[in-house]
Chain A
């Protein structure tokens, strides 16, 4: 149910992996934490796995999981740099997690702009002021608060707002 950033999960997994590899040879998955309470007995990502050989499946699954982590790491390297996190008492949010439409532009803008929130800043929908009006630009409903523009998007089941360059 709870949406957490992939970066956070990957980070946790990576740190746990380094710790494990460095200190003791325990199977990787014994310490991987997604920071998420499971709401189904069935794991995800098992749809394409051969069901004929149980023990073999377990090995394959393990590989699948590890590979997936590697993929996610790659994503993080490509799209997210300089992440920091803040905590509002209940939920964790990312600073500086660039929305993929605004990657490079966003970063350049962020370096130059010292006023207002940095482009790429993500806030939870509960932190959005109701006084920020909806403005449609090219059919997309942005929220504008003074000179700051937000682009709402679903991250999993949760709406987040990403600070973007003025879209017009």
Chain B
């Protein structure tokens, strides 16, 4: 063991009573201080890379993405459980989206259809589907799905980067980390900090700057759970209209969404 580590452990032991004290008070509530050397800064190169990726994404008229994901779930006890799954996206801008999402450990095997007019969720396990009338773009759809129906489609960022919904100004720190490979493809690895999340992205290092991996740390949540997605892209898929249209399979039943109803809220929205 090096002296450096001995020192660190020594400091930890000395500081234990203070840590215990602070755990009961508000010191524990304060965001963790940055490590020495982690100067808060925004490297222009990192923001440029993000913008170039967004601009490239917006040149795509149609694409499919296969996302291998893993996600921490924090139990009330504080224990973390790793959920894994696959999400397949097929999309044709601006108003067609099809998502298949399987999450192991969560009994989740869902299909989502957006055909430009309506949005349908279908569970392969429960054989139920529910529909709502949808707006005219994927971006608006994803907002409504989440805000009104609590249906969260992962990786909404893919449809926000490079658009007016891009929240690049939320970034408080941005760094280039290194070059590395994702499934053999050379990538540039960047790290960003926001008020609510820290995130990292691996962007393909060539003339098709696609995001190949995204890691999001929810740092305001207890346990700071992470979501990790590794993506495989096809930017020239053959997708027909029927891809996006839901046809109820045999034995499927139509049910409703449990929208949290508030008469005042509904009247102001209408």
With both beta carbons as reference points, the residue of chain A lying nearest to B199 in the complex is identified as A41
Q: List 22 A-B contacts (CB under 8 A).
A: A1-B85, A24-B25, A24-B26, A26-B29, A33-B220, A38-B218, A39-B229, A40-B156, A42-B167, A43-B170, A43-B196, A45-B147, A47-B143, A71-B265, A100-B259, A140-B255, A141-B253, A153-B130, A153-B255, A153-B256, A156-B151, A158-B108
Q: Does B225 contact A (CB under 8 A)?
A: yes
**Is the beta-carbon distance between A100 and B261 smaller than 8 angstroms?**
yes
Chain B 69-112 interface mask (CB, 8 Å, partner A; 1/0): 10111111000010101000000000000000101011110100
CA A74 to CA B264, docked complex, whole Å: 10
**Is the beta-carbon distance between A37 and B261 smaller than 8 angstroms?**
no
Query: Within B119-159, which residues are at the interface with A (CB < 8 Å)?
Result: 121, 123, 125-126, 128, 130, 139-140, 143, 146-147, 149-152, 154-157
Apart from A39-B227, A46-B165, A156-B149, 4 more pairs, CB < 8 Å: A1-B154, A24-B25, A37-B72, A79-B261
Known A-B contacts A29-B196, A35-B74; the reply to A152 vs B149 at CB < 8 A is no
Chain A 36-63 interface mask (CB, 8 Å, partner B; 1/0): 1111111111110001001001100000
With both beta carbons as reference points, the residue of chain B lying nearest to A45 in the complex is identified as B147
Q: Does A31 contact B (CB under 8 A)?
A: yes
**Is the beta-carbon distance between B262 and A75 smaller than 8 angstroms?**
yes
Chain B 249-270 interface mask (CB, 8 Å, partner A; 1/0): 0000111111111101100000
**Is the beta-carbon distance between B221 and A44 smaller than 8 angstroms?**
no
With both beta carbons as reference points, the residue of chain B lying nearest to A159 in the complex is identified as B126
Q: Does B245 contact A (CB under 8 A)?
A: no
Q: How many A-B residue pairs have CB under 8 A?
A: 180
Q: Does A129 contact B (CB under 8 A)?
A: no
Q: Does A115 contact B (CB under 8 A)?
A: no
CA A92 to CA B214, docked complex, whole Å: 28
Query: Within A123-168, which residues are at the interface with B (CB < 8 Å)?
Result: 124-126, 134, 140-141, 151-160, 162
CB A131 to nearest CB in B, in angstroms, measures: 16
CA A156 to CA B103, docked complex, whole Å: 15
**Is the beta-carbon distance between B74 and A31 smaller than 8 angstroms?**
no
Residue in B76, B85, B125, B157 whose CB lies within 8 Å of A87: B76
With both beta carbons as reference points, the residue of chain B lying nearest to A46 in the complex is identified as B167
CA A75 to CA B157, docked complex, whole Å: 29
Which secondary structure characterizes the binding site on chain B? mixed
List residues of chain B with CB under 8 Å of any chain A CB: 25-26, 29-31, 69, 71-76, 81, 83, 85, 101, 103, 105-108, 110, 121, 123, 125-126, 128, 130, 139-140, 143, 146-147, 149-152, 154-157, 160, 164-167, 169-170, 192, 194-197, 199, 214, 216, 218, 220-222, 225-227, 229, 253-262, 264-265
**Is the beta-carbon distance between A141 and B255 smaller than 8 angstroms?**
yes
Q: Number of A residues contacting the other chain (C-beta, 8 Å)?
A: 59
Q: Write out the residue numbers on chain B whose beta carbons fall within 8 Å of the beta carbon of A126.
A: 107
Q: Write out the residue numbers on chain A whose beta carbons fall within 8 Å of the beta carbon of B76.
A: 87, 92
**Is the beta-carbon distance between A157 and B151 smaller than 8 angstroms?**
yes
**Is the beta-carbon distance between A42 and B256 smaller than 8 angstroms?**
no
**Is the beta-carbon distance between B157 and A155 smaller than 8 angstroms?**
no
**Is the beta-carbon distance between B152 and A156 smaller than 8 angstroms?**
yes
Q: Write out the residue numbers on chain A whose beta carbons fall within 8 Å of the beta carbon of B130.
A: 153-154
CA A151 to CA B130, docked complex, whole Å: 13
Residue in B26, B101, B126 whose CB lies within 8 Å of A125: B126
Known A-B contacts A40-B156, A90-B81; the reply to A1 vs B258 at CB < 8 A is no
Q: Write out the residue numbers on chain A whose beta carbons fall within 8 Å of the beta carbon of B151.
A: 154, 156-157
**Is the beta-carbon distance between A6 and B257 smaller than 8 angstroms?**
no
